[in-house]
Structure 1
């Protein structure tokens, strides 16, 4: 769709796509070798993990090393009443640590789960070396014996998924402005990974459950265990086994295992479409033709007269019509079948900032427009 370009100013088109590199993140060869770490016996795992993190981080790791008893105390022995959530990786508990004195989220990885030692190491390294307001802060980690535990800053409003998908009747839905605020922040997180980090980082698991929200609904990306260093030099992609969550993976990555930053752009498009529509990417409870969100939306993108049919009914038509059109145009561009024609995340950020900043008096909500039409 060529309407994406209308969201961007001429000034933005001349902006540098590659920002200043992160000084700490300078040794490409060392970090690239990190993805191929092999592991020794279980008895030496704790020492080995600590040594690897220290070595790979070159002294820049700021995360605190916790011992297991400390985290037992922090979570009241991992009391089920303190549990915040559970996934394929394990369980997350709310806790309080004394040093530093703060409320935290403690993720205890399932020892038999899919997120193994390599993913644990990747997450500690990534979140220790990469710092941005839209990336979750890693407070520390624990590698006692066979325990693999990550300690994050506590995010008071849980995940985007908690407030968007399969919402219970008694829970207030997110309004349009909050949805756009979350989309902009999440896009800025990906922009930082793709265009500021050097080498670039491909997140690889962008989905609503991995976008955490603080008390003011500011979003932060979490769960970096599947992140990969992007291609450098004259390489166009990174070849890797297909990982991630079904429905969010870009088609070319799912088919070939060839990963680029444009794979993340596609995943962003899926989540942004979830934000706009309130629909889950795969929902088997819906009619057959509506079960796959992208398949359902693709033909509707072709005619603007269909756009209001795509808005989340829980918004009760309380959204700017022009803003809805622009948002769906951005989503459509991110979801292009061919990776090469998808926008850069910096362009996505610019487009989203444009549509959230332009709320002039001419902007009417769908609800107000309908009322005015009825009174004319």
Structure 2
């Protein structure tokens, strides 16, 4: 089981990798399949984004791209894949939000091998979790984060980092892509939280 420090390090490292693909590459790269299986860890738990087989090179100056078919893994795909909206880097931001939830909870939110009924239950559980996170953040309620973070950590996590990760995950999972942050902003938020010590 990963401790809190390793989970946070993975969250920051994946955001850093996506920020590189979205903002620093000569070509604008949208991964299109961000999920735990495509995040490799080295012996120091530094994440490496792998399997760019579905990635799409897009025109950096353009507003997006029409892609003829959906790309990615069911459960991690942004809602715009089901519509005729142009695909942008916000599809990776949505998938990253799913990965963040899984890091926080310590369980798979989405099981690719699940039957349709189980997939529906998984999607409903995710929506409940996102709704609960939003409500608790808006209410200013104290100590709610312990109910969301993986119980196997026995309270050994940084509360401020966890709250920020939930806030980021909720914003990344917005159905309206214009309300999702870009990955550069996500990375800035995580880096600012990196200095918090475990409470």
TM-score range, shorter chain: 0.7 to 0.9
Match of 2:153 in 1: 315
Match of 2:29 in 1: 201
SS of 1:212 mapped into structure 2: strand
Which is helix-richer, 1 or 2?
Answer: 2
- Pairs aligned (count): 188
Q: 1:260 aligns with which of 88, 92, 101?
A: 88
Determine the C-alpha separation between the residues in 2 that align with 1:289 and 1:315: 28
Match of 2:188 in 1: 350
CA contact (8 A) 2:158 2:196 kept: no
Which is strand-richer, 1 or 2?
Answer: 1
Report the CA distance shift for 1:303/1:287 in structure 2 as closer, same or farther (over 3 A): farther
Report the CA distance shift for 1:288/1:270 in structure 2 as closer, same or farther (over 3 A): closer
Question: Shift in Å at residue 231 of structure 1?
Answer: 3.5
- Flag structure 2 segments of 5+ consecutive residues without an equivalent: none
Matched, 1:300 2:138: no
Report the CA distance shift for 1:198/1:267 in structure 2 as closer, same or farther (over 3 A): same
- Flag structure 1 segments of 5+ consecutive residues without an equivalent: 1-172, 365-376
Report the CA distance shift for 1:185/1:289 in structure 2 as closer, same or farther (over 3 A): same
SS of 1:174 mapped into structure 2: coil
Q: Spell out structure 1 runs of 4+ moving beyond 6 A.
A: 285-289
Report the CA distance shift for 1:255/1:348 in structure 2 as closer, same or farther (over 3 A): same
Determine the C-alpha separation between the residues in 2 that align with 1:231 and 1:281: 33
Larger Rg over CA atoms: 1
Matched, 1:291 2:129: no
CA contact (8 A) 1:300 1:307 kept: no
Match of 1:338 in 2: 176
Matched, 1:182 2:10: yes
Give the TM-score normalised by the residue count of structure 1.
Answer: 0.47
CA contact (8 A) 1:327 1:355 kept: no
Determine the C-alpha separation between the residues in 2 that align with 1:328 and 1:199: 31
More displaced, 330-339 or 275-284?
Answer: 275-284
Determine the C-alpha separation between the residues in 2 that align with 1:232 and 1:323: 32
Report the CA distance shift for 1:243/1:288 in structure 2 as closer, same or farther (over 3 A): closer
SS of 1:238 mapped into structure 2: coil
Q: How does 1:108-127 map to 2 (within 5 A)?
A: none
More displaced, 292-301 or 197-206?
Answer: 292-301
Q: CA RMSD in A?
A: 2.2
Match of 1:31 in 2: none
Question: Shift in Å at residue 320 of structure 1?
Answer: 1.8
Question: Shift in Å at residue 251 of structure 1?
Answer: 0.6
Report the CA distance shift for 1:338/1:231 in structure 2 as closer, same or farther (over 3 A): farther
Question: Shift in Å at residue 354 of structure 1?
Answer: 1.3
Q: 2:71 aligns with which of 243, 259, 269?
A: 243
Determine the C-alpha separation between the residues in 2 that align with 1:252 and 1:288: 19
Determine the C-alpha separation between the residues in 2 that align with 1:227 and 1:287: 28
Determine the C-alpha separation between the residues in 2 that align with 1:344 and 1:350: 10
Question: Shift in Å at residue 288 of structure 1?
Answer: 8.6
Question: Shift in Å at residue 263 of structure 1?
Answer: 0.8
Question: Shift in Å at residue 289 of structure 1?
Answer: 7.9
CA contact (8 A) 1:210 1:221 kept: yes
